[in-house]
């Protein structure tokens, strides 16, 4: 347990049975009355943003999170298999910990971070940028250079992203996994 006055951005707490990260923290000391604390929380599992106000010196439960480096091995149905790169232990995670937004960019042997709380995996984080090969897209036509035009392309993980007209099958692309957009050719 920690005091609300001792909380800082980046810490994790347990709020209403959910693990939340403190995104913003503001301690207010009005001229009259007791101190209070305003925080903006992000639910680790769902990504939902919450606003909460507490009285100063109120106690909240601190959550100890342990991020560990893992390697993505393979997918079997809705189950994703990862291996701890330090202990070589394997862990199987479902769609609760590996949402579709992340799963569509997972490539075999990719290095990821798996975050644990009390020995249970709660989420997977992938790199902000990944390099993926284009396996299918319509061919670009000579002279078709309309500024800003794009076409769909399927990359090796099965994800479909919008790319410029000059991208061809076999090209390697740098993709922003946070937005799912093309960045540049690699």
* pLDDT, tens digit (0-9, with 9 covering 90-100), for 2-33: 888 888 888 889 988 888 888 999 988 888 88
Among 59, 57, 41, smallest CA distance to 49 is for: 41
- For residues 92 and 81, the answer to whether their CB atoms sit within 8 Å is yes
Alpha-carbon gap, residue 79 to 94, rounded angstroms:
5
What's the chain's average pLDDT? 88
| Ranges of each domain in the chain | 2-62, 66-125, 129-185
Class of domain 66-125 as given by CATH: mainly beta
Query: Span 129-185: which CATH code?
Result: 2.40.50.140
Question: How many other CB atoms are there within 10 angstroms of residue 186's CB atom?
Answer: 13
Return the beta strands (E) in 16-128 as ranges: 18-28, 36-43, 49-55, 59-62, 65-76, 79-84, 90-93, 111-117, 120-125
> 81: which 2 tokens?
């298999």
pLDDT of residue 129: 93
Q: What is the fold, at CATH topology level, of the domain defined by 2-62? A: SH3 type barrels. (2.30.30)
pTM over 0.85: no
* pLDDT, tens digit (0-9, with 9 covering 90-100), for 30-58: 888 888 899 999 888 778 899 999 888 88
Q: Would 66-125 and 129-185 be classified into the same CATH topology?
A: yes
> How does DSSP classify residue 105?
T
* pLDDT, tens digit (0-9, with 9 covering 90-100), for 132-150: 999 998 886 665 666 667 8
CA 155 to chain centre: 20
Helices marked H in the chain: 100-103
């Amino acid at each position: 347990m920690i005091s609300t006055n001792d909380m800082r951005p980046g810490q994790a707490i347990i709020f209403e049975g959910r693990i939340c990260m403190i995104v913003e923290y503001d301690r207010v000391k009005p001229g009259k009355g007791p101190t209070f604390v305003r925080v903006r929380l992000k639910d680790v599992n769902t990504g939902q943003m919450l606003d909460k106000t507490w009285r100063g010196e109120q106690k909240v439960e601190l959550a100890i999170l342990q991020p560990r480096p893992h390697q993505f091995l393979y997918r079997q149905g809705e189950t994703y298999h990862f291996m701890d790169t330090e202990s070589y232990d394997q862990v199987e995670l479902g769609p609760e910990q590996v949402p579709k937004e992340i799963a569509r960019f997972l490539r075999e042997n990719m290095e990821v971070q798996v975050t644990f709380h009390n020995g249970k995996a709660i989420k997977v984080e992938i790199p902000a940028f990944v390099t993926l090969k284009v396996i299918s897209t319509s061919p670009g036509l000579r002279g078709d250079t309309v500024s800003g035009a794009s076409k769909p392309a399927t990359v090796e993980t099965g994800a479909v992203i919008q790319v410029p007209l000059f991208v061809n099958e076999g090209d390697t692309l740098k993709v922003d996994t946070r937005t799912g957009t093309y960045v540049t050719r690699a």
